[in-house]
Amino acid sequence: MRVRFKVESIDKQVSIYMHGSEFGDPQIKEMMTQELRQRLIEAQAEGRPLRVYCGFDVTAPDIHLGHVIPMRKLRQFQEFGHDVTFLIGTFTTLIGDPSDRDEARSIALKEDIEKNAQTYAEQAFRILDRKKTKIRYNYEWLSKLTFTDVISMASHFTVQQFLVRDRLRNRYEKNDPIWLRELLYPLAQGYDAVTLQADVQIGATEQLFNLMAARRLQEVFGQKPQVCITFPVLVGTDGAQRMSKTTGNYIGITEPPDEIYGKTMSINDDLILPYFELLTDVPDEELAEFCKELEDDAVNPMDLKKRLARELVTQFYDRKAADEAEGNFERVVQKRELPESIPTIRVPESNPDIRRLLVNNGLVPTMSQATRLYKQGAIKVDGVRIANYNPPIKDGSIVQYGKLDYCKLIVPPTLPGTD
């Protein structure tokens, strides 16, 4: 039986899929746009959906907004009836992609990768359609390659091709280490496309070399080369570096609504439009109005951030959660009032380490994150930024450990020396 995917217009699909894409080269973008259109025409004639995928290395346990950009694109392909694979890089994470960094990535532990992969697989369905998504793990096929297989694939590339990439070239010129395993990463990612027989691969602009290497390998294996669609890297809440769990400038999609809302309100004004374009379904016409209003100083950037924060919270939760998060933000941040309800912590010892209190009571996930909050000056006791890990406290002290995060301390009278 011939399968027909949902087609209103090939040109409409192309426009939706390529919206927001960035290749760093207008000629490559035009080539990929034309190839995508042709691939859709051919697939329609053959009565089959396109095979589309995006791979995600699992260097941290949670999905953040930076991952959401390609995932939203996968969802758009799903809505038109195409086959979508959410590929988890349980093998490629062991190698480390040099595309996005100026230093070698630390070798990840297999146990951590497996644990992180489980959370990725579940969190993905906050964006993707569970019934229409294939979850695959590339350890399944990459771990079975022989040394002969790797040498055979490597014979189709030169070292010069790899060193032309900015980040590797910069490290080479500075005499910084470039590990041989890093040069194998594009081969591994390329073999993913071969195994999946991909028609389309989605990725970050900085990964374009890897995606193009996959096209070459597909030709070697007798397949038609995939269409590459790449998108810019999302700048984090610090306004400087790419969004990353490591740097702490991320917004996680499973964070509480208040956290997502509050962190969104903290982004730089120049990130408002890119966030809207890459992370929401707000129409282009309305985005153009936002742009003009910002240029003419006809709108308060905070009002646009509130709209953006509502859009994001609604996307990962619902409209009610967005309204409540906005109310909490206005009450706590703008009016400087306490939230309507805050958790209480019973202090078990005198002069406690405030970080350990937060972690042990499940308010902050790890000591490293609690330490990072401390160094950022985000932890306050009774409105005063703490100067050490063991600040003076008393019964009823209010601890703030984020823009919208508070708890109340209960100090038994039997604990001396805490006031």
CATH number of the domain to which 349 belongs: 3.10.290.10
Residue type, 157: F
CATH number of domain containing 139: 3.40.50.620
What are the two backbone dihedrals, phi and then psi, of residue 299, each rounded to the nearest 5 degrees?
Answer: -145, 145
Q: Tokens in use for 242?
A: 């790419």
C-alpha distances out from residue 11 to 14, 42, 75, 194, 224, Å? 5, 14, 18, 27, 22
Neighbour-count burial of 168, counting CB atoms closer than 10 A to its CB (0-12 exposed, 13-18 middle, 19+ buried):
buried
- Where is the domain boundary, 334, 356, 380? 334
10-residue stretch averages of pLDDT, the chain, 419 residues long: 65 95 95 98 94 92 93 97 96 79 57 84 93 96 97 94 82 84 92 98 94 97 98 92 85 92 92 95 93 93 95 96 92 78 86 92 90 88 87 89 86 66
Q: Tokens in use for 234?
A: 């999302």
99 Cβ contact list (under 8 Å, min separation 6)? 165, 167, 185, 204, 206, 207, 209, 210
**Does one domain contain both 275 and 364?**
no
- Kindly state whether residue 241 falls inside one of the protein's structural domains: no
302 Cβ contact list (under 8 Å, min separation 6)? 265
The pLDDT assigned to 100 comes to: 57
Q: Considering the chain, what is the average pLDDT of its residues?
A: 89
The pLDDT assigned to 296 comes to: 93
Do residues 34 and 67 make contact, with C-beta atoms less than 8 angstroms apart? no
Q: Tokens in use for 62?
A: 């949670």
The three-point CA angle 160-211-22 to 5° equals 105
- Where is the domain boundary, 334, 356, 390? 334
> For 289-315, how does the pLDDT look when each residue is reduced to its tens digit (9 = 90+)?
999 999 999 999 999 999 999 999 999
- Where is the domain boundary, 277, 304, 334? 334
**Does one domain contain both 59 and 96?**
yes
Q: Provide the 3-class DSSP secondary structure of residue 310.
A: helix
Phi-psi region of 96 (alpha: psi -120 to 50; beta: other; left: phi over 0): left
Q: Which residue has the tokens 């020396």?
A: 417
**Does one domain contain both 406 and 304?**
no
> For 227-273, how does the pLDDT look when each residue is reduced to its tens digit (9 = 90+)?
999 999 999 998 989 998 777 789 999 999 998 999 999 899 999 99
The pLDDT assigned to 1 comes to: 44
C-alpha distances out from residue 336 to 33, 227, 332, 384, 403, Å? 50, 51, 5, 14, 10
Do residues 3 and 22 make contact, with C-beta atoms less than 8 angstroms apart? no
Strands (DSSP E) found in 205-295: 227-231
**Does one domain contain both 20 and 112?**
yes
Strands (DSSP E) found in 30-164: 51-56, 83-88, 133-137
**Does one domain contain both 219 and 100?**
yes
Which pTM was predicted?
0.80
Give the strands of the sheet with 380-381, arranged side by side: 344-346, 406-410, 398-400, 380-381, 384-385
- Indicate if the alpha-carbon torsion angle 237, 239, 243, 247 is positive or negative: negative
C-alpha distances out from residue 399 to 177, 235, 326, 342, Å? 44, 30, 21, 10
**Does one domain contain both 280 and 359?**
no
Q: Tokens in use for 149?
A: 């297989």
**Does one domain contain both 140 and 266?**
no
Range of the domain at 174: 10-231
d(CA 49, CA 78): 10
CATH number of domain containing 298: 1.10.240.10
